[in-house]
Every structure is written in structure tokens, then in C-alpha cells.
């Protein structure tokens, strides 16, 4: 009844210091020991679960399961690693099945396991604890996550102003201005969307960056930014749509082919020619591997037709792919997911993360040539055996590019 910390507060304080085991309870501000008890055995189960799920570090849930046989049984029986996953990533609540490699199932049968309730609980604990471990590791090994451009809600002049152009970091590529442009609109509140496929169907995304385009070839070098921006992550409405999406013309909208499972807050965008970084409040688990960038409102008119445009020169998505250690399969027609898990591949991935931490990452231009050859080969008259021409920023400007 006093003003001191409650019992739960004291235990949680100890847990956050990673002092998992036998805890010393104290009164007031005194730190002298009076009693030594195991709170998991002494408290109600719901209270113990509440305490353990308040841990800040996911690794501590695994450590808690190693304190004693009783704690090990308690952590697994109550699905604490899964609860922690769901609390941090609510999108995982739609996972209704876990699929492991055939060799794991064969090995389990060989040693006498018969998929009892306890075996399933242990499997779930291991899978979700491993997923948390992988996500935590990816937060320190972030990389570019865009695979390729899917579509834009409108394109002013295709293919010269295609959404594919946003995948290079320069505002000029192969001797030409490189950017995407919307069609002109009289309404300054009209929005546009850009859709991208990420490198994997299961990614952890922490930051998205967008650079408005400065029309260096127009009088006054106007910057065609949006007023604000919003982000969505999702997946095709059904598995067949994945193939259909590849057939969607880049200059046509494809928003109706997706289910968006996450929507960010609205971020204001500055009318400045720089890569503007929009850090998500918490890392987001993208299930399905698709990103929609919604560009809200327009700020710049074009002097030749007095219409508002939005133009983007570069988009970058920072995070990390969880594939191939983890993958997702859409279960139709339920709209639920199966989580695929391969522990051997995860072990290899974690080792690779560690080894690659001291290796210089591939430049954006090199990645762009690798997975966005569409622009070089199909849009920019690039041919095999002919080296691409890269212009420096101080190269001579184009007098009349004929764009817009």
C-alpha cells in the first residue's frame, strides 16, 4: 500500500537487467536480502506470463527457458516466444501453420516423436524464438531490400519516365534524366502510388527513403515533390496474382491486386532535392513482399501546361530479407499464412551475416544493373557488350530533353 515499487515492478526491473533465475525481493529502498523464492512457482501463472512477456530482449525468453526444468516447461507450455513475436509483430497472428523441411519430420519420427501436443509446443517455441533471433540480427545487418518495380498509378511519358528509373541513385543514367513522373493534374490534392516487389516474401523493414526529382532542365529547376507520403506492406490477393502481377504494365495501377496488412502514419515531405529518410517507429515485418508508396498531394505546377506533377528520382528501402531461412505461403481461400522454417539455412544465414559485417556492400549502381537491367536493356537502348555511359553531376546539361 506504500509508495514503493510493486512486486511486479521489482521483478520486471530485475528481468530487464537480465537477472533471470532466483530473485531477491526487498522492501522500500533497502537492497538487503530477506527471502529467496522462485516467482514462477509462487505466483499465479497469468502473472508470471505477464512478467516474462515484459522482457525487452527476445533472447531473454530463451534464457528463461534454460533456468530450470520447471521454467523450461513453463516457457514452452505458455508459448512465450510466440506471444512475444505477436506482440512485436501483430501481422504474425495470421500464421496458422508451420512447415518444416521433410528431413526434420523424418528425424522426429525416427526417434519416436508422434506430433504430441508437447512436441508441437516445443516446435513452435523453437521456430518463433529463432524468428526473433533472426529479426534481431537483421536490425544490425541492414541492406537495400527492393527487388524490382511493379507499377505506378500513372506515368506521364512511358518508358522515358518509368517507375523503373527510381531504382538508380542518380538523376541521370545512361546519358538521360532518370526519374518517374506522374501525369499532370489540376487538383493539388491528387495522389499517386508506386508499388515495388521486395527481395523476399518475408522482410523486416526499418526505413524507407524517397528523393523528389529536381527538373534541372526546366527554368528555375523546380522540384516536383509530394506534400506527404504513406507506406503500406502486403501480399497478392491470391497466389495466382503473383504471376499475373508480372504481366501488369509498369505504367498502369495494380493497387487492387493486393491486400495491405500494414499502413504507416503520414509523413510530411520537404520540397528538396535530397534523399528523404522516413524511419518507421518500429521495424515492420512485411508478409508477402510488396511495398506501396502513396504520394499524397502535389506542390509544383509545370509552367508549360499549368498542371501539378509528382516526380521521384530515387526510392530506397532499408531492412533485411528473412528468406530463405523463413518464407511464407498464402493459404487460400482463408487469407491465412503458413510459415516455412529451415533451421540449417538459418544457421548458415546467421554465419553469413557475421562474416559479411566487415565486407563493403555492393554499390546501388551495381545492384541496379544486376536486378534492374530492364531499364538498361529495354528502356535505354543498352546492348550486350556495350559499356553503359555514366554522366557526372557536372556534365553539360541537356538543352531540350523533350520531357514532361
For 72-81, how does the pLDDT look when each residue is reduced to its tens digit (9 = 90+)?
888 888 888 8
- Environment class of 401 (CB within 10 Å of its CB; exposed 0-12, middle 13-18, buried 19+): middle
- Dump pLDDT digits (tens) for 340-363: 999 999 888 888 766 655 544 444
CA 118 to chain centre: 33
8-state DSSP, 255:
G
Residue 365 lies in a domain: no
Q: How, if at all, do strands 95-99 and 336-341 pair?
A: parallel
Q: How many domains does the chain have?
A: 1
Residue 222 lies in a domain: yes
Q: What is the pLDDT of residue 367?
A: 45
- Average the pLDDT over 203-207 and give the result: 95
Rounded distance, CA 179 to CA 322, Å? Answer: 30
Residue 333 lies in a domain: no
Within 19-68, residue ranges assigned H as helices are 39-42, 45-52, 59-64
Question: Taking a C-beta distance cutoff of 8 angstroms, is the pair 37, 23 a contact?
Answer: yes
Question: Taking a C-beta distance cutoff of 8 angstroms, is the pair 337, 216 a contact?
Answer: no
Binned at pLDDT 50, 70 and 90, residue 115 comes out as low
8-state DSSP, 153:
S
Rounded distance, CA 214 to CA 78, Å? Answer: 55
The residue among 234, 255, 8, 261 whose CA lies nearest residue 151 is 255
Residue 377 has pLDDT above 60, yes or no: no
Q: What is the pLDDT of residue 56?
A: 62
Ramachandran category for residue 175: left, alpha or beta (phi over 0 → left; psi -120 to 50 → alpha): left
- Environment class of 398 (CB within 10 Å of its CB; exposed 0-12, middle 13-18, buried 19+): middle
Residue 41 has pLDDT above 50, yes or no: yes
Question: Taking a C-beta distance cutoff of 8 angstroms, is the pair 132, 86 a contact?
Answer: no
339 pairs with which residues across the strands? Answer: 98, 328
Residues 102, 105, 110, 114, CA torsion sign: negative
Question: What percent of the chain stands above pLDDT 90?
Answer: 41
pTM assigned to the model: 0.76
The residue among 368, 329, 319, 322 whose CA lies nearest residue 345 is 322
How confident is the prediction for the chain on average, in pLDDT? Answer: 78
Number of Cβ within 10 Å of residue 105's Cβ equals: 13
DSSP for 309-338, written as a single string: E-EEEEEEEEEEE-TTTEEEEEETTTTEEE
- Dump pLDDT digits (tens) for 381-403: 333 333 333 334 444 444 333 34
Residue 269 belongs to a domain with what CATH number?
2.60.120.260
Alpha-carbon distances of 195 from 8, 43, 95, 249, 360, rounded to whole Å? 46, 50, 24, 12, 29
Question: Taking a C-beta distance cutoff of 8 angstroms, is the pair 62, 130 a contact?
Answer: no
Binned at pLDDT 50, 70 and 90, residue 104 comes out as low
Question: Taking a C-beta distance cutoff of 8 angstroms, is the pair 178, 313 a contact?
Answer: yes
Rounded distance, CA 334 to CA 343, Å? Answer: 27
- Dump pLDDT digits (tens) for 167-187: 988 878 777 899 999 999 999
Question: Taking a C-beta distance cutoff of 8 angstroms, is the pair 346, 134 a contact?
Answer: yes
Q: What is the pLDDT of residue 241?
A: 57
Domain that holds residue 148: 143-320
Residue 374 lies in a domain: no
Residue 125 lies in a domain: no
φ and ψ of 358, to 5 deg? -105, 10
Q: Which helix (H) or strand (E) holds 346?
A: helix 343-356
Alpha-carbon distances of 260 from 118, 240, 245, 291, rounded to whole Å? 35, 17, 15, 9
Residue 129 lies in a domain: no
Alpha-carbon distances of 268 from 165, 196, 212, 227, 230, rounded to whole Å? 23, 21, 13, 6, 9
Q: How, if at all, do strands 267-268 and 276-287 pair?
A: unpaired
Residue 98 lies in a domain: no
Q: What is the pLDDT of residue 28?
A: 41
Binned at pLDDT 50, 70 and 90, residue 4 comes out as low
Most confident of 41-45, 114-118, 329-333, 366-370: 329-333
Residue whose entry in the numeric block shows the C-alpha cell 508470471: 48
Residue 7 lies in a domain: no
Question: What percent of the chain stands above pLDDT 70?
Answer: 71
Which cell is 269 given? 515531405
Amino acid at each position: 500500500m506504500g509508495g514503493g515499487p510493486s512486486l511486479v515492478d521489482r521483478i520486471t526491473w530485475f528481468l530487464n537487467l537480465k537477472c533471470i533465475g532466483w530473485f531477491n525481493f526487498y522492501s522500500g529502498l533497502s537492497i538487503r536480502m530477506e527471502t529467496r523464492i522462485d516467482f514462477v512457482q509462487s505466483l499465479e501463472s497469468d502473472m508470471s506470463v505477464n512478467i516474462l512477456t515484459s522482457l525487452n530482449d527476445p533472447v531473454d525468453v530463451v534464457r528463461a527457458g534454460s533456468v530450470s526444468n520447471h521454467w523450461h516447461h513453463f516457457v514452452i507450455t505458455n508459448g512465450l516466444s510466440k506471444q512475444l513475436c505477436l506482440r512485436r509483430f501483430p501481422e504474425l497472428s495470421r500464421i496458422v501453420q508451420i512447415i518444416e523441411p521433410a528431413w526434420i519430420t523424418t528425424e522426429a519420427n525416427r526417434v519416436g516423436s508422434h506430433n504430441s501436443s508437447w512436441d508441437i509446443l516445443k516446435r513452435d517455441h523453437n521456430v518463433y524464438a529463432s524468428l526473433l533471433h533472426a529479426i534481431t540480427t537483421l536490425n544490425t545487418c541492414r541492406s537495400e531490400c527492393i527487388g524490382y518495380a511493379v507499377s505506378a498509378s500513372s506515368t506521364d511519358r512511358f518508358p522515358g519516365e518509368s517507375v523503373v528509373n527510381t531504382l538508380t541513385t542518380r538523376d541521370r543514367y545512361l546519358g538521360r534524366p532518370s526519374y518517374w513522373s506522374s501525369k499532370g493534374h489540376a487538383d493539388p490534392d491528387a495522389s499517386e502510388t508506386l508499388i515495388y516487389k521486395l527481395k523476399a516474401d518475408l522482410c523486416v523493414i526499418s526505413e524507407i527513403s524517397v528523393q523528389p526529382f529536381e527538373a534541372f532542365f526546366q527554368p528555375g529547376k523546380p522540384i516536383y515533390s509530394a506534400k506527404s507520403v504513406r507506406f503500406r506492406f502486403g501480399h497478392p490477393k491470391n497466389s495466382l496474382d503473383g504471376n499475373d502481377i508480372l504481366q501488369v504494365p509498369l505504367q498502369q495501377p495494380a493497387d487492387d491486386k493486393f491486400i495491405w496488412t500494414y499502413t504507416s502514419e503520414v509523413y510530411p515531405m520537404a520540397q528538396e532535392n535530397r534523399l528523404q529518410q522516413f524511419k518507421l517507429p518500429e521495424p515492420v515485418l512485411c508478409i508477402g513482399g510488396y511495398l506501396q508508396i502513396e504520394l499524397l498531394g502535389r506542390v509544383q505546377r509545370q509552367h508549360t501546361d499549368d498542371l501539378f506533377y509528382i516526380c521521384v528520382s530515387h526510392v530506397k528501402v532499408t531492412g533485411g530479407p528473412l528468406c530463405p531461412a523463413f518464407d511464407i505461403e498464402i493459404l487460400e481461400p482463408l487469407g491465412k499464412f503458413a510459415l516455412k522454417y529451415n533451421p540449417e539455412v538459418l544457421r548458415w544465414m546467421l554465419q553469413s551475416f557475421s562474416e559479411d559485417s566487415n565486407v563493403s556492400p555492393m554499390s546501388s549502381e551495381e545492384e541496379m544493373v544486376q536486378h534492374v537491367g530492364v531499364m538498361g536493356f529495354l528502356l535505354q537502348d543498352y546492348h550486350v557488350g556495350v559499356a553503359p555511359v555514366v554522366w557526372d553531376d557536372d556534365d553539360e546539361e541537356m538543352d531540350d530533353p523533350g520531357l514532361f
